[in-house]
Protein backbone atom coordinates (compact mmCIF):
# COMPACT_ATOMS: atom_id res chain seq x y z
CA UNK A 1 0.00 0.00 0.00
CA UNK A 2 1.01 3.63 -0.39
CA UNK A 3 1.28 5.73 2.77
CA UNK A 4 2.40 9.19 3.91
CA UNK A 5 1.82 10.83 0.52
CA UNK A 6 2.97 14.46 0.82
CA UNK A 7 4.14 17.23 -1.48
CA UNK A 8 6.20 20.38 -1.01
CA UNK A 9 7.75 23.15 -3.10
CA UNK A 10 10.62 25.56 -2.63
CA UNK A 11 9.33 27.85 -5.41
CA UNK A 12 5.52 27.86 -5.51
CA UNK A 13 2.42 27.44 -3.40
CA UNK A 14 1.13 23.88 -3.10
CA UNK A 15 -0.65 21.81 -4.20
CA UNK A 16 1.12 21.40 -7.54
CA UNK A 17 0.41 17.67 -7.99
CA UNK A 18 -3.11 17.57 -6.52
CA UNK A 19 -4.90 14.42 -5.36
CA UNK A 20 -4.05 11.21 -7.27
CA UNK A 21 -6.43 8.78 -8.87
CA UNK A 22 -5.46 5.18 -8.11
CA UNK A 23 -6.16 2.57 -10.78
CA UNK A 24 -4.94 -0.82 -9.57
CA UNK A 25 -1.54 0.28 -8.20
CA UNK A 26 -0.93 3.21 -10.57
CA UNK A 27 -0.93 6.77 -9.20
CA UNK A 28 -2.31 9.25 -11.75
CA UNK A 29 -2.03 12.99 -11.01
CA UNK A 30 -3.45 16.02 -12.84
CA UNK A 31 -0.78 18.57 -11.87
CA UNK A 32 -0.83 22.37 -12.13
CA UNK A 33 2.90 22.86 -12.78
CA UNK A 34 3.81 25.78 -15.05
CA UNK A 35 6.81 28.05 -15.73
CA UNK A 36 6.67 31.32 -17.67
CA UNK A 37 9.34 33.84 -18.69
CA UNK A 38 8.78 36.80 -21.03
CA UNK A 39 10.83 39.79 -22.25
CA UNK A 40 13.80 38.62 -20.20
CA UNK A 41 11.89 38.79 -16.90
CA UNK A 42 12.43 37.11 -14.53
CA UNK A 43 15.25 35.88 -16.77
CA UNK A 44 14.93 32.29 -15.65
CA UNK A 45 11.79 31.01 -13.96
CA UNK A 46 11.76 27.69 -12.12
CA UNK A 47 8.85 25.69 -10.74
CA UNK A 48 9.95 22.85 -8.47
CA UNK A 49 7.70 20.32 -6.78
CA UNK A 50 8.65 17.40 -4.54
CA UNK A 51 6.46 14.34 -3.98
CA UNK A 52 7.13 11.90 -1.12
CA UNK A 53 5.43 8.61 -0.32
CA UNK A 54 6.14 5.26 1.33
CA UNK A 55 5.20 1.84 -0.03
CA UNK A 56 4.80 -1.57 1.58
CA UNK A 57 3.73 -4.77 -0.14
CA UNK A 58 1.81 -7.66 1.37
CA UNK A 59 3.50 -11.08 1.79
CA UNK A 60 3.94 -12.77 -1.57
CA UNK A 61 4.16 -9.51 -3.52
CA UNK A 62 6.94 -7.06 -4.38
CA UNK A 63 8.15 -4.32 -6.71
CA UNK A 64 11.02 -4.47 -9.19
CA UNK A 65 10.72 -0.95 -10.63
CA UNK A 66 8.83 2.31 -10.97
CA UNK A 67 8.07 4.03 -14.27
CA UNK A 68 7.27 7.75 -14.18
CA UNK A 69 5.54 9.36 -17.15
CA UNK A 70 4.74 13.06 -17.52
CA UNK A 71 3.49 15.26 -20.35
CA UNK A 72 2.43 18.80 -21.16
CA UNK A 73 2.93 21.59 -23.68
CA UNK A 74 5.73 24.07 -24.35
CA UNK A 75 5.39 27.43 -26.14
CA UNK A 76 8.36 29.47 -27.41
CA UNK A 77 7.68 32.72 -29.29
CA UNK A 78 9.59 35.71 -30.62
CA UNK A 79 12.54 36.65 -32.80
CA UNK A 80 15.24 35.62 -30.33
CA UNK A 81 17.75 32.80 -30.27
CA UNK A 82 18.73 29.77 -28.22
CA UNK A 83 18.68 31.81 -24.99
CA UNK A 84 14.89 31.49 -25.14
CA UNK A 85 14.03 27.99 -24.04
CA UNK A 86 12.32 25.61 -21.66
CA UNK A 87 13.20 22.42 -19.83
CA UNK A 88 11.57 19.64 -17.81
CA UNK A 89 13.31 17.25 -15.44
CA UNK A 90 12.63 14.43 -12.98
CA UNK A 91 14.94 13.23 -10.19
CA UNK A 92 13.71 10.09 -8.40
CA UNK A 93 15.25 8.52 -5.29
CA UNK A 94 13.94 5.23 -3.87
CA UNK A 95 15.26 4.00 -0.53
CA UNK A 96 14.56 0.29 -0.01
CA UNK A 97 14.27 -0.86 3.61
CA UNK A 98 12.99 -4.39 3.03
CA UNK A 99 13.51 -6.84 0.15
CA UNK A 100 11.69 -10.15 -0.29
CA UNK A 101 10.10 -9.45 3.09
CA UNK A 102 13.48 -9.24 4.86
CA UNK A 103 14.71 -6.11 6.66
CA UNK A 104 17.95 -5.03 4.96
CA UNK A 105 20.96 -4.46 7.24
CA UNK A 106 21.75 -1.39 5.13
CA UNK A 107 19.04 0.39 3.13
CA UNK A 108 19.57 0.39 -0.64
CA UNK A 109 19.17 3.71 -2.46
CA UNK A 110 18.31 3.79 -6.17
CA UNK A 111 18.59 7.11 -8.04
CA UNK A 112 17.46 7.90 -11.59
CA UNK A 113 16.93 11.12 -13.53
CA UNK A 114 15.89 12.53 -16.89
CA UNK A 115 15.93 16.04 -18.38
CA UNK A 116 14.72 17.41 -21.72
CA UNK A 117 15.04 20.92 -23.11
CA UNK A 118 13.76 22.96 -26.05
CA UNK A 119 14.99 26.22 -27.63
CA UNK A 120 13.30 28.84 -29.81
CA UNK A 121 15.31 28.15 -33.01
CA UNK A 122 14.37 24.45 -33.03
CA UNK A 123 10.98 24.36 -31.27
CA UNK A 124 9.14 27.61 -32.05
CA UNK A 125 5.39 27.74 -31.47
CA UNK A 126 3.40 25.40 -29.24
CA UNK A 127 4.40 21.74 -29.07
CA UNK A 128 3.61 18.72 -26.89
CA UNK A 129 6.32 17.20 -24.72
CA UNK A 130 6.80 13.99 -22.74
CA UNK A 131 9.27 12.60 -20.22
CA UNK A 132 9.67 8.94 -19.25
CA UNK A 133 11.85 7.76 -16.37
CA UNK A 134 12.50 4.11 -15.47
CA UNK A 135 13.70 3.44 -11.91
CA UNK A 136 15.18 -0.08 -11.83
CA UNK A 137 15.00 -1.49 -8.31
CA UNK A 138 15.76 -5.06 -9.31
CA UNK A 139 19.17 -4.18 -10.79
CA UNK A 140 20.32 -2.87 -7.40
CA UNK A 141 18.82 -5.76 -5.40
CA UNK A 142 19.95 -8.66 -7.60
CA UNK A 143 23.68 -8.45 -6.69
CA UNK A 144 22.64 -8.68 -3.03
CA UNK A 145 20.63 -11.83 -3.63
CA UNK A 146 17.17 -10.26 -3.55
CA UNK A 147 14.46 -10.00 -6.19
CA UNK A 148 11.84 -7.48 -5.05
CA UNK A 149 11.51 -4.39 -2.90
CA UNK A 150 8.81 -4.92 -0.29
CA UNK A 151 9.11 -1.73 1.79
CA UNK A 152 10.61 1.65 0.97
CA UNK A 153 10.37 5.39 0.54
CA UNK A 154 10.06 7.31 -2.74
CA UNK A 155 11.15 10.94 -3.23
CA UNK A 156 10.43 12.57 -6.60
CA UNK A 157 11.73 16.06 -7.41
CA UNK A 158 10.11 17.48 -10.53
CA UNK A 159 11.22 20.72 -12.20
CA UNK A 160 10.07 23.01 -15.01
CA UNK A 161 12.27 25.93 -16.12
CA UNK A 162 12.02 28.71 -18.74
CA UNK A 163 14.32 31.49 -19.97
CA UNK A 164 13.58 34.44 -22.29
CA UNK A 165 15.30 37.45 -23.88
CA UNK A 166 14.68 41.20 -23.67
CA UNK A 167 16.23 42.27 -26.95
CA UNK A 168 14.37 41.19 -29.01
CA UNK A 169 11.54 40.38 -26.64
CA UNK A 170 10.60 36.70 -26.43
CA UNK A 171 8.26 34.46 -24.45
CA UNK A 172 8.78 30.97 -23.04
CA UNK A 173 6.07 28.91 -21.35
CA UNK A 174 5.87 25.26 -20.28
CA UNK A 175 3.25 23.37 -18.31
CA UNK A 176 2.65 19.84 -17.05
CA UNK A 177 -0.78 18.32 -17.65
CA UNK A 178 -0.29 14.69 -16.61
CA UNK A 179 1.96 12.83 -14.16
CA UNK A 180 1.73 9.05 -13.70
CA UNK A 181 3.65 6.65 -11.45
CA UNK A 182 3.47 2.99 -12.54
CA UNK A 183 4.98 0.29 -10.28
CA UNK A 184 6.59 -2.76 -11.81
CA UNK A 185 5.25 -5.71 -9.83
CA UNK A 186 2.44 -5.95 -7.31
CA UNK A 187 1.60 -4.48 -3.92
CA UNK A 188 -0.71 -7.41 -3.18
CA UNK A 189 -0.38 -11.12 -4.10
CA UNK A 190 -1.85 -11.96 -7.48
CA UNK A 191 -1.91 -8.35 -8.59
CA UNK A 192 -5.26 -7.56 -6.98
CA UNK A 193 -5.96 -3.82 -6.64
CA UNK A 194 -4.47 -2.41 -3.48
CA UNK A 195 -6.83 -1.17 -0.79
CA UNK A 196 -5.30 2.02 0.68
CA UNK A 197 -4.92 2.43 4.42
CA UNK A 198 -7.40 4.90 5.96
CA UNK A 199 -4.88 7.75 5.80
CA UNK A 200 -4.30 7.14 2.10
CA UNK A 201 -8.01 6.88 1.42
CA UNK A 202 -8.48 10.27 3.03
CA UNK A 203 -5.81 11.70 0.77
CA UNK A 204 -7.63 10.45 -2.29
CA UNK A 205 -10.86 12.08 -1.16
CA UNK A 206 -9.49 15.33 0.22
CA UNK A 207 -6.31 15.92 -1.76
CA UNK A 208 -2.66 15.49 -0.87
CA UNK A 209 -1.35 16.69 2.45
CA UNK A 210 0.65 19.84 1.64
CA UNK A 211 3.99 19.86 3.39
CA UNK A 212 4.44 23.57 2.71
CA UNK A 213 7.41 25.32 1.25
CA UNK A 214 9.97 23.38 3.29
CA UNK A 215 11.26 20.49 1.25
CA UNK A 216 11.77 17.09 2.85
CA UNK A 217 14.61 15.06 1.43
CA UNK A 218 15.26 11.46 2.18
Rounded Cα–Cα distance for residues 17 and 111 (Å): 21
Tell me, yes or no, whether 215 lies in a domain.
no
Tell me, yes or no, whether 175 lies in a domain.
yes
Is residue 52 predicted with pLDDT exceeding 50? yes
Is residue 199 predicted with pLDDT exceeding 80? no
CA angle, 49 then 141 then 192, to 5°? 70
Tell me, yes or no, whether 137 lies in a domain.
yes
Q: How confident is the model at residue 87 (pLDDT cuts 50, 70, 90)?
A: very high
Integer angstrom CA distances of residue 199 from 25, 60, 213: 16, 24, 22
> What's the pLDDT score for residue 168?
86
Q: How confident is the model at residue 23 (pLDDT cuts 50, 70, 90)?
A: confident
Domain limits for position 139: 2-210
E strands of the chain, at which residues?
Answer: 2-8, 21-23, 26-29, 34-38, 44-56, 62-78, 85-99, 102-119, 125-136, 149-163, 170-186, 209-210
Tell me, yes or no, whether 216 lies in a domain.
no
Is residue 215 predicted with pLDDT exceeding 80? no
DSSP conformational letter for 177: E
Rounded Cα–Cα distance for residues 144 and 114 (Å): 26
Backbone angles phi, psi at 204, to 5 degrees: -65, -40
Evaluate the CA torsion angle 25, 26, 30, 35 in order and state its sign: positive
Tell me, yes or no, whether 56 lies in a domain.
yes
Tell me, yes or no, whether 117 lies in a domain.
yes
More reliable by pLDDT, 168 or 96: 96
Tell me, yes or no, whether 25 lies in a domain.
yes
Is residue 200 predicted with pLDDT exceeding 50? no
142-174 tens-digit pLDDT:
999 999 999 999 999 999 999 999 988 999 999
Query: In the chain, how many domains are there?
Result: 1
pTM: 0.86
Phi-psi group of 75: left, alpha or beta (phi > 0 → left; psi -120 to 50 → alpha; rest → beta): beta
Tell me, yes or no, whether 218 lies in a domain.
no
Amino acid sequence: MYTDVTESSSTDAVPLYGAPEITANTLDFDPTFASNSFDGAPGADTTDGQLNFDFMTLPGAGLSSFTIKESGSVTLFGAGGAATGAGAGILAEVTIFEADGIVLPNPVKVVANVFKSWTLPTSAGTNPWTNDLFVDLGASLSPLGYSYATKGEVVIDDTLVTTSESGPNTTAFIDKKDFVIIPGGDLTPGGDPDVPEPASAALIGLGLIAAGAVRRRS
